[in-house]
Structure 1
Amino acid sequence: MDDIPYLARGVALLGTDSSVLISSSKYLNDPRLRDWIAKIALRRNGPDYPPAAETHDFEHILTGGGFNYMGELIPYWFRLGTIDKFIANKELAGEMNAMGILGTMRYVIRTVLHYPQVWGTALQCMEQGMAIARQSDAFWMAKMEDYWDLPLDQARAALGVRGTVDLDTHEAGAIWADVERA
C-alpha cells in the first residue's frame, strides 16, 4: 500500500464493535462529550426536555443575554473568558473550557452556514460576552443560589459582573430558531 500515492488510496473506513462514539481524540472519547452530543447537540426541542438550567439561566440574566439562540453566545463567551482570565494553569483552563467551546461553536458554525443574516448579532453577542469577561471577577466560584434573591444590579455587583448591556436578541433568535418554518 505504501507504493500507492496517498491521494490515490481513497478513504479507508474504520470499523468498530462499540455501540458508543469512539475516536482517537481524547475529546470524542470523553463520556461528558458523548452525553452532551446526545442530550444537547443532536436532540430535538420538546416539552419533555425543557431547554433550561438554573445556574446557566442566571448567567443569561447576569450578562444581559436573551433567552434565545443568539442570547446563548453572551454567557458562553463570558464564562470562557473568565475561566481563561483567572485560571493560571492553561491546561486546566482548557479542560474547564472544553464543553463551553464545543457548546458555543455549534451556534457560531450553524449561524454562518444557515443564518448569515444574523451573523452581525452573533458577533455582537460574542464581543459582549468577552468584554464582560475582561472586566469581571471569577463569578463561577460563587454559589449562585446565594444571589438569586437579590435585585439584578446588586447580584451583578456582589458577583463582580461588570460591563453588562442588556442586548435585545429576540428578533435574531427567532430567525435562528426558524420560527417562520415551525
Structure 2
Amino acid sequence: MADYSYLMRGIKTVETDSSVLVSSSRYLNDARVRDWVATHLLRRNGPDVPTPSDSIQLVQILREVQDIDHINALFAAERQKNPALDAWFREGFVSTFGRDDLKHYGPDTVGGIFYAQLTGNDLQVDIVPPFTPRNDFEYFQLRAGQTHDLEHILGGGGFDFIGELVPCYMRLTNLFVHMSPELAGELSAFSILGSTRIITRAVLHYPQTWLVVQDAVERGAKVGRDSDPLYMMRYEDVFDLTPDQAREQLGVRGVRMADTATASAQWC
C-alpha cells in the first residue's frame, strides 16, 4: 500500500471535554446544516422533495445559525464608508406592485417578460410573504427576495433549476466586488450553499449537463464582476424597457444568454 503520510503532516489532535461534535465553525457545529449539506449536495432530484423546498429550509436554518447582530454591525461600518449604500438604506424603498400591475407592459419589456413568467406558472410576485424589516440585514434580505426574479431576466438566467446559478453567481461575485469581504461573506452563506447543491448534483448524477452548469456559473460571475452594485438596483423603474435598455440604464454588464432549460429537463 502506498505511503501517503507526507500528505498528513501537520494534523493535530485537539482535545476537548465536550461530549458532542464541536468545531470552530458555527456551520459545522449545527446538526441541521450538516444534514442539509449532506442531503442536498448529494441527493438526486425527485418529485417527493421539490427543489424549491431545499432553499426555504436553508433560509430558515441560516437565520438561526448566523449572528445577525454581527452582520448588522458590519452593515453599520460599511455605511460609514459607502455613502451610496447608506443613502439606499435611508430611503428604504420596498416594492408594492402585484402581478396585475404588470399586465399592460409589452411582451418584449422587462415587465411583460416578468408578467408572462408569473402567469405562465401561476405565481404571484411575492414568493416569500412580505414583512416589515426591523434592521439593515432584514431590509437587505427583503429587497434580495423582491428582485431575485428580475435578476434572472436582466442577468440572462433561465427560470429553471440550472438557470438559478446565474443570479446566484451574479450576487456571489458582485457582493465581493462592492463590499468588504467579511460582510460579503456573511451575506453569501445562502448563495454558496444553495448554488453548490446544483453543482455537485450535476457532476454526481447528471454529468451530461455539467458543461451547461459550468457555463451558467461563469456567465453569472461575469455579470457580477462587471456590473454596478446589483443589490441596490431598482428594477421596478425599468419595467417599460427592453432587457437590453434596462441593463444599460441600471449598469448591468457582461450578460451572455444561453439555454439551460433543455439541460434542466434532464434532471429527473
TM-score by length of 2: 0.49
Cα distance in structure 1, aligned partners of 2:55 and 2:190: 15
Distance 1:173 1:133, change over 3 A: same
User: Match of 2:159?
Assistant: 67
Q: Residue 188 of structure 2 aligns to a residue in which SS? A: helix
Cα distance in structure 1, aligned partners of 2:223 and 2:148: 16
User: Match of 1:104?
Assistant: 195
Q: In the alignment, is residue 151 of structure 1 matched against residue 209 of structure 2?
A: no
The structure carrying a bigger helix percent of its residues is 2
> CA offsets per residue over residues 35-81 of structure 1, 9 Å max, x none?
x99x73177xxx99989565211111011111111111111111111
Distance 1:157 1:173, change over 3 A: same
2:54 to 37, 41, 58: 41
Distance 1:61 1:29, change over 3 A: farther
Following superposition, which runs of at least 4 residues in structure 1 exceed 6 angstroms of deviation? 47-51
User: Match of 2:175?
Assistant: 83
The answer to which of 77-86 and 158-167 deviates more is 158-167
> CA offsets per residue over residues 118-170 of structure 1, 9 Å max, x none?
01100111011111122111121123322333221121112211111221111
Cα distance in structure 1, aligned partners of 2:238 and 2:122: 29
Distance 1:61 1:49, change over 3 A: closer
Report 1 or 2 for greater relative contact order, CA contacts < 8 Å, sequence distance ≥ 6: 1
Cα distance in structure 2, aligned partners of 1:163 and 1:57: 18
- CA RMSD, aligned part only? 3.5
Unaligned runs of 5+ in 2: 1-18, 38-51, 57-120, 128-144
Instruction: In structure 2, give the amino acid aligned to 1:79.
Output: R
TM-score by length of 1: 0.70
Percent of pairs with identical residues: 46
Cα distance in structure 1, aligned partners of 2:223 and 2:237: 21
Please give the residue correspondences for 1:121-136 in structure 2 after superposition, counting only pairs within 5 Å: 121-136=212-227
Aligned residues: 152
Q: Residue 67 of structure 1 aligns to a residue in which SS? A: coil
